[in-house]
């Protein structure tokens, strides 16, 4: 059996060593190697992979994304008609929930004002409201959105979610589809985006959407938190909305261009918390085992798990 690693932006040799140590009997090939034997490839493992490469593997059975998102694969116009699988890993989910909860709490507990006060040696007594006075809205109620919603609800926030299909989740108000988006926004003080990047979600975080968020919460204006993908945000609109008060603040983990340019206004913006696309890194060992377990199960005749729906793109 042979695996083809097509990994851009990360250290491919480290992945090679990891797969070889977990599965010494499997032949591991690298995209870019001079002696590639594409006809031997059974499975592809991809992150920011070379477009068209998998189309040249005549015996390919499936392609695994090295991450929860598959937008990097969907950009390949020649992606062959084989199952595309994505990572669903409790370790990754918990890391995302940590990041989302941290960001919600930073805004809720007015941490940037407290940081300023500390630097000025100012013993400032800020008024603080309770979590149950704050309405959090989560765009995307998949593996990641549901877990963040659960933890935030347990902290006392009023939590609602928006997804393509209606959900029955105790303690959570579910809104679904384009028809219910405005009602969801109108009850949201802190908006969290955990959507996949698809043609339908490109640019969804724009000025028009920001202006539909609630303005009656304790922060005085809404906050956005994006850990989905940079392509979902119109960055000029975020800056405009922060500067004219349509938005109170933003937490951004993802950007249109990554790494973010050193002259981006986001770096120093006083209303922005910025992290360099690390909200939920997947543990390499977990991903490696996850993929090898899936391959072993499939070879035993079991169906793949976490298969991407190629019509919706996630
Ligand atoms: N920043 C990071 O470090 C990081 C790490 C991991 C993942 N991510 C991002 O997080 C995304 C979400 O991951 P996940 O595992 O939670 O995905 P998922 O399980 O596939 O869930 C996606 C959710 O989005 C909803 N959705 C998709 N398209 C929609 C649309 N057009 N309108 C309304 N709802 C829509 C889905 O609705 P239904 O439930 O009705 O299908 C589902 O609830 C990934 O795609 C990736 O881009 C970021």
Predicted confidence (pLDDT) per residue in 149-192, tens digit: 999 999 999 999 999 999 999 999 999 999 999 999 999 999 99
Q: Region 72-80: what's the mean pLDDT?
A: 95
Which of 302, 296, 307 has its CA nearest to residue 42? Answer: 296
> To the nearest 5 percent, what fractions of the chain are helix, strand and coil?
35, 15, 50
Q: pLDDT digit string (tens) for 258-308?
A: 999 999 999 999 999 999 999 998 889 999 999 999 999 999 999 999 999
Distances (CA, A) of 220 to 193, 206, 212, 224: 20, 19, 14, 13
Phi then psi for residue 27, to 5 deg, are: -80, 125
Distance 144 CA to ligand 1 centre (A): 7
| Bridge partners, 176 (sequence order) | 163
Report the C-alpha gap between 45 and 87 in whole angstroms.
11
Residue 53 has pLDDT above 90, yes or no: yes
Distance 301 CA to ligand 1 centre (A): 28
Report the C-alpha gap between 56 and 29 in whole angstroms.
14
- List, in order, residues 6 or more apart from 17 with CB less than 8 Å away: none
| Bridge partners, 273 (sequence order) | 251
Residues with CB under 6 A from ligand 1: 68-69, 96, 140-145, 162-165, 194-198, 200-201, 227-229, 253-254, 277, 279-280, 314
> What's the pLDDT score for residue 63?
98
- Residue 67 CA: which ligand 1 atom is closest? 6
| Catalytic residue, candidates 95, 146, 229, 248 | 229
Residue 84 has pLDDT above 90, yes or no: yes
> What's the pLDDT score for residue 32?
86
Pocket test for ligand 1, best of 67, 185, 196 (most atoms within 8 A of CB): 196
> What's the pLDDT score for residue 28?
96
Residue 140 has pLDDT above 90, yes or no: yes
Which of 217, 268, 261 has its CA nearest to residue 242? Answer: 268
Radius of gyration from C-alpha coordinates of the chain: 21
| Catalytic residue, candidates 277, 289, 300, 307 | 277
Which of 235, 275, 272, 232 has its CA nearest to residue 107? Answer: 272
Distance 237 CA to ligand 1 centre (A): 22
Q: pLDDT digit string (tens) for 24-40?
A: 999 999 998 999 999 99
CA angle 111, 115, 116 (to 5 degrees): 120
Pocket test for ligand 1, best of 75, 98, 161, 163 (most atoms within 8 A of CB): 163
Task: Label residue 143 by pLDDT band (50, 70, 90).
Answer: very high
Which of 235, 209, 232 has its CA nearest to residue 222? Answer: 209
- Residue 163 CA: which ligand 1 atom is closest? 34
Distance 10 CA to ligand 1 centre (A): 23
Average pLDDT, the chain: 96
> What's the pLDDT score for residue 231?
98
Task: Label residue 128 by pLDDT band (50, 70, 90).
Answer: very high
């Amino acid at each position: 059996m042979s695996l083809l690693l097509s990994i851009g932006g990360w250290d491919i040799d480290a992945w090679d060593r990891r797969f070889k140590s977990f599965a010494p009997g499997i032949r591991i090939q690298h995209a870019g190697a001079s002696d590639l034997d594409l006809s031997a490839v059974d499975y592809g493992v991809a992150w920011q992979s070379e477009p068209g490469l998998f189309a040249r593997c005549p015996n390919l059975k499936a392609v695994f994304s090295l991450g929860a998102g598959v937008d990097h694969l969907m950009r390949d116009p020649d992606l062959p008609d084989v199952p595309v699988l994505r990572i669903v890993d409790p370790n990754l989910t918990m890391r995302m929930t940590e990041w989302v909860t941290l960001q919600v709490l930073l805004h809720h507990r007015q941490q940037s004002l407290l940081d300023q006060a500390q630097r000025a040696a100012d013993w400032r007594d800020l008024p603080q409201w309770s979590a149950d006075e704050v309405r959090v809205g989560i765009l995307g109620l998949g593996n990641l959105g549901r877990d963040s919603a659960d933890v935030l609800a347990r902290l006392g926030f009023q939590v609602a979610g928006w997804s393509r299909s209606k959900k029955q989740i105790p303690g959570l108000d579910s809104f679904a589809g384009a028809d219910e988006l405005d009602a969801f926004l109108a009850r949201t003080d802190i908006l969290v985006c955990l959507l996949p990047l698809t043609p339908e979600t490109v640019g969804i975080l724009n000025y028009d959407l920001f202006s539909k968020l609630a303005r009656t919460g304790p922060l005085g204006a809404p906050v956005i938190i994006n850990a989905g993908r940079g392509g979902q945000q119109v960055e000029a609109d975020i800056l405009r909305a922060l500067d004219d008060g349509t938005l109170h603040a933003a937490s951004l983990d993802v950007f249109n261009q990554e790494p973010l340019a050193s002259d981006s206004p986001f770096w120093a913006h006083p209303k922005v918390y910025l992290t360099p696309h690390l909200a939920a890194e997947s543990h390499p060992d977990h991903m490696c085992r996850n993929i090898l377990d899936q391959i072993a199960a499939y070879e035993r005749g079991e169906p793949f798990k976490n298969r991407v729906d190629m019509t919706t793109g996630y």
